[in-house]
């Protein structure tokens, strides 16, 4: 469950003053509009309140593996599964997708479809291959 907002300095002062005047935690929480739990946590140790840092869930990929994924993806049109296999990382395609989406430098784009070859084009290419397929050193003398 997520954390709520931390107590600000004014609220901390109110809690301390109300506690010293003899108010119980329930009344303090109803007056300030905060949960009893946050007030109890603050009163238990006011100096230590708000210093605990939650490191969160550990990352599946190291920064080096993330850079490798971005490098492979930037130079090819491979799928997420293919990128994961090429990087030799044991993660799902969704994890690779999240790394790619998190990068401000990469933008996904669909390849433009190219027109199909018509039968006349296929014949012309086949005729070209048959007439020049035996050439070896003659190509060196062709001027572009």
Q: Is residue 97 part of a domain?
A: yes
- 1 and 52 in a single domain? The answer is yes
pLDDT of residue 2: 56
Q: Is residue 95 part of a domain?
A: yes
Q: Is residue 91 part of a domain?
A: yes
- 50 and 81 in a single domain? The answer is no
Q: Is residue 113 part of a domain?
A: no
Residues with Cβ within 8 Å of 108's Cβ and at least 6 positions away in sequence, in order, are 100
Q: How far apart are CA 40 and CA 75, in angstroms?
A: 55
Q: Is residue 125 part of a domain?
A: no
Residue 33 sits in a domain whose CATH number is 1.10.10.60
Residue 126 has pLDDT above 70, yes or no: yes
Cβ contact 95:77 at 8 Å: no
- 28 and 51 in a single domain? The answer is yes
- 7 and 49 in a single domain? The answer is yes
Q: How far apart are CA 125 and CA 143, in angstroms?
A: 20
Per the structure, the count of domains in the chain is 2
Kindly state the DSSP code that residue 57 receives in the 8-state scheme.
S
Token digits for 130? 């048959």
- 8 and 47 in a single domain? The answer is yes
Type and span of the H or E element at 120: helix 119-132
CA geometry: angle at 93 spanning 63 and 78, to 5°?
Answer: 90
Residue 54 has pLDDT above 80, yes or no: no
Q: Is residue 108 part of a domain?
A: no
CA geometry: angle at 68 spanning 66 and 69, to 5°?
Answer: 65
pLDDT of residue 83: 95
Residue 124, number of CB atoms within 10 A of its CB: 12
**pLDDT band for position 108 (cuts 50, 70, 90):** confident
- 44 and 82 in a single domain? The answer is no
Rg (CA), the chain: 33
Q: pLDDT for 69-90, tens place per residue?
A: 999 999 888 999 999 999 999 9
Token digits for 96? 């690779």
Q: Provide the domain limits for residue 80.
A: 68-102
- 75 and 52 in a single domain? The answer is no
Q: Is 118 in a helix, a strand, or coil?
A: coil
- Across the chain, mean pLDDT equals 90
- 2 and 51 in a single domain? The answer is yes
- 10 and 52 in a single domain? The answer is yes
Q: pLDDT for 33-44, tens place per residue?
A: 999 999 999 999
pLDDT of residue 1: 52
Q: Is residue 107 part of a domain?
A: no
Q: Which of 10-19, 73-82, 104-113, 118-127 has the lowest mean pLDDT?
A: 104-113
């Amino acid at each position: 469950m997520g954390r709520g907002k931390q107590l600000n300095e004014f609220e901390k002062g109110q809690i301390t003053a109300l506690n010293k005047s003899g108010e119980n935690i329930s009344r303090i929480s109803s007056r300030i509009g905060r949960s009893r739990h946050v007030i109890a946590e603050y009163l238990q140790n006011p100096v230590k309140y708000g210093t605990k840092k939650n490191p969160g869930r550990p990352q599946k990929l190291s920064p080096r593996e993330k850079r490798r994924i971005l490098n492979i993806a930037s130079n090819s049109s491979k799928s997420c599964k293919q990128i994961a296999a090429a990087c030799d990382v044991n993660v799902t395609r969704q994890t690779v997708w999240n790394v790619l989406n998190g990068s401000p430098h990469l933008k996904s784009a669909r390849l433009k479809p190219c027109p199909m070859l018509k039968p006349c084009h296929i014949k012309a290419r086949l005729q070209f291959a048959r007439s020049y397929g035996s050439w070896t050193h003659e190509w060196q003398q062709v001027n572009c």
